[in-house]
Amino acid sequence: MKSRRTESRERPLERAALVGLVTRAARRADPDTILDELEGLARADGAEVVLRAVQDRPSPDPATLIGQGKADTLALACAETGADLVIFDNELTPAQGRNLEKVFGRRVIDRTELILDIFAKRARTREGRLQVELAQLQYRLPRLAGSSDALSRLGGGIGTRGPGETKLETDRRRIRDRIASLKREIADVGRRRSYLRDRRRRGDVPTVALVGYTNAGKTTLFNALTGAQAVASHALFVTLDPLVRRLKLGDAGQILLSDTVGFIDRLPHQLVAAFRATLEEVAAADLLIHVVDAASPDRDRHLTAVRNVLADVGAAAVPTIEAWNKIDLVDADERARLETSPHGEVLISARRRDGLDALARAIAAHLSMDTARVRFDLNLRRDADRKTVAELYKMARVVAHVADGDRVAIDADVPRRLLGRFPRAKVPA
Ligand code: GDP
Ligand code: MG
């Protein structure tokens, strides 16, 4: 972390021009705010925004997206403001990207590439880095043809000349080989992770995952709860890979708390695919804490985006606590309204450490509430049954134990997440 910060201080900020296209079909509420999210992303990537332009057209131009005339005007504006690169809010086809680079005479990227770049800089775990590299290569492969710049961005070094046809073919093959080997490595890491996940399960420690829109305050909350020093920043995507810490939580005993990816709207599909494995960790959690920025004007849109991603990764059924954060920024009226909301949100301020006790109680309640009362008829002469008795006393709450010679009837409250381990459990009549 330290070196990254020094680096960004020493290097002058890249100057970025932001461009968005609005078509009649997809016009959103306010033209002034259309590029706000892109600006947040660009800043998170270390760029300084020197120009914002929104073009309104009935439909995208196949050659230049925004139309040749608009592109020419923007080229002048870019020169005037000294922009180093142009970032498009819309996804560009390979041909549009090439044409626009010619018109502007500077580097052109789209939102997907920007997000990939941020992910590449911030991936912390080996798996995260592999996933981002895979997504980048898959995105760039079809864009290689005829672009003199694409290869240098793949690591050929600045000043690499445009590749000849043969070289291009070799490079394509090299990239396909790398893609295949990345997929193998990712599968290996994934197997190892699910092994670790099983081990955690065997250790009987429930896992609680923080989820939520980017910038909602997940890392701040993670730190407040665990006393950890992960970097919280007013930036998008600081957290890419789940960071897991063991934490003692009053009555709930120990939990494993993980700080996960920040979700955003319109996550490029390459990234959804790339991070599916990581997001599946979320689906495997015993409990989710959905951190919501209660003070954000886009609160409802963010809520929906997060719920959609959760449903996408199969986590819709995981019990969820909504922690409405940044309550310190919410005005008194709204706060009073939220306090009496029937949906059971927990109001907190992670930064001021307000409401954390209530949150801890809610976590404890959810984790211990989620049990099922089941009956076991066991025979103590069988090894497997003796083991089951021992495990029940360790992992469940035994409420009745009736012995009759070698036979035992046990009623117990078993955490639902452990029910799979007790195939002989019966629902009592
Ligand atoms: P994440 O992307 O969800 O992990 O969000 P971070 O934890 O990185 O926080 C994003 C920004 O919100 C940071 O500038 C935090 O200091 C700020 N923040 C987090 N919690 C609170 C809070 O309770 N109140 C206020 N005012 N700001 C907060
Ligand atoms: Mg974070």
The per-residue DSSP string of 289-352 comes to EEEEETT-TTHHHHHHHHHHHHHHTT-TTS-EEEEEE-GGGS-HHHHHHHHT-TT-PEE-BTTT
Model pLDDT, residue 13: 81
Whether residue 238 has its Cβ less than 6 Å from ligand 1: yes
> Which atom of ligand 1 lies closest to the CA of 222?
7
Q: What is the rounded distance in angstroms from the CA atom of residue 413 to the CA atom of residue 429?
A: 15
Residue whose Cα lies nearest atom 6 of ligand 1: it is 217
Tokens found for residue 86: 């142009």
Describe the crossing of helices 68-81 and 94-104 by its angle, rounded to 10 degrees.
Answer: 50
3-state secondary structure of 161: coil
CB of 131 closer than 6 A to ligand 1? no
With tokens 């705010």, the residue in question is 33
- Distance (Å) from CA 220 to ligand 1 centroid: 6
Q: What is the pLDDT of residue 190?
A: 73
* Dist. CA 32 → ligand 2 center (Å): 27
| Pocket flag, ligand 1, residue 212 (CB < 6 Å) | yes
Sequence-ordered strand ranges (E) for 43-194 = 47-57, 85-88, 107-110
Tell me the two tokens of residue 222: 């993670």
DSSP conformational letter for 156: I
Q: What is the whole-number distance in angstroms between the Cα of residue 125 and the centre of ligand 2?
A: 14
Q: How far is CA 29 from CA 23, 24, 241, 294, 308, in A?
A: 12, 12, 33, 21, 21
Q: How far apart are CA 365 and CA 414, in angstroms?
A: 15
Query: Ligand 1: does its nearest atom lie under 6 Å from the Cβ of 235?
Result: no
Give the whole-angstrom CA distance, residue 350 versus residue 341.
Answer: 20
351 CB near ligand 1 (under 6 Å): yes
Per-residue confidence of the chain (429 residues) as pLDDT tens digits?
A: 334 444 444 556 899 999 999 886 555 556 677 888 788 778 878 899 999 999 999 899 999 999 999 999 999 999 999 999 999 999 899 999 999 999 999 999 998 888 888 777 766 667 778 888 888 898 888 887 654 444 444 443 334 345 555 777 888 899 999 999 999 998 887 777 666 566 555 456 788 888 888 778 888 898 888 875 444 444 433 344 456 777 776 545 677 777 765 666 566 666 666 666 566 667 778 889 999 999 988 888 888 888 887 887 778 888 889 999 999 999 999 998 888 776 778 999 999 999 998 898 888 777 765 678 899 999 999 999 988 888 887 777 788 899 999 999 999 888 777 788 888 888 866
Q: Could you tell me if the CB of 220 is within 6 A of ligand 1?
A: yes
Distance of alpha carbon 281 from alpha carbon 197, whole angstroms? 9
What whole-number distance in Å separates Cα of residue 397 and Cα of residue 415? 9
The answer to whether the CB of 108 falls within 8 A of the CB of 75 is: no
Beta-bridge mates of residue 151: none
Q: Which residues in 343-422 belong to E strands, given as ranges? A: 346-347, 371-379, 397-404, 407-415
pLDDT of residue 48: 94
Please tell me the pTM assigned to this model.
Answer: 0.62
Structure confidence at residue 295 (pLDDT): 92
Q: How far is Cα 236 from Cα 387, in angstroms, rounded to an integer?
A: 49
Do residues 128 and 58 lie in contact, with contact meaning Cβ atoms separated by under 8 Å? no
Residues 44 and 27: their CA atoms lie apart, in Å, by 26
pLDDT recorded at residue 92: 93
Q: What pLDDT, on a 0 to 100 scale, did the predictor assign at position 124? A: 63
Q: State the closest ligand 1 atom to the C-alpha of 262, by its place in the atom list counted from 1.
A: 2
249 bridge partner residues: 253
Residue from 41, 213, 220 whose mutation best tests the ligand 1 pocket (most atoms within 8 A of CB): 220
DSSP 12-70: PPEEEEEEEEEEGGG--S-TTTTTHHHHHHHHHTTEEEEEEEEEEESS-BTTTBS-HHH
Question: Could you tell me if the CB of 268 is within 6 A of ligand 1?
Answer: no
Distance in Å, CA 214 to ligand 2 centroid: 7
Cα 76 from Cα 238, distance rounded (Å): 34
For residues 295 and 338, is the Cβ–Cβ distance under 8 A? no
Strand ranges across the sheet with 85-88: 47-57, 14-23, 85-88, 107-110
**Which residue out of 351, 352, 353, 356 has the highest number of ligand 1 atoms within 8 Å of its CB and is therefore the one to mutate?**
351
State phi, psi for 159 to the nearest 5 degrees: 95, 0
Other Cβ atoms within 10 Å of 6 Cβ, number = 10
Q: In what order do the strands lie in the sheet with 407-415?
A: 371-379, 407-415, 397-404
Question: Which ligand 1 atom is at minimum distance from the Cα of 352?
Answer: 23
Q: Which ligand is nearest to the CA of 122?
A: 2
C-beta of 370 in contact with ligand 1 (< 6 A): no
Cβ of 154 closer than 6 Å to ligand 1, yes or no, is no
What span, in angstroms and rounded, lies between the C-alpha atoms of 279 and 424? 32
Give the closest residue to 89 by CA, choosing from 346, 321, 268, 219.
268
Q: Which atom of ligand 1 is nearest to the CA of 238?
A: 2
List phi, psi (to 5°) of 370.
-85, 65
Q: Cβ(223) to ligand 1 under 6 A?
A: no
The C-alpha atoms of residue 159 and residue 197 are separated, in whole angstroms, by: 46
Residue 13's beta-bridge partner residues?
none
* Any atom of ligand 1 within 6 Å of the Cβ of 217: yes
Q: Is 354 in the pocket of ligand 1 (CB under 6 A)?
A: no
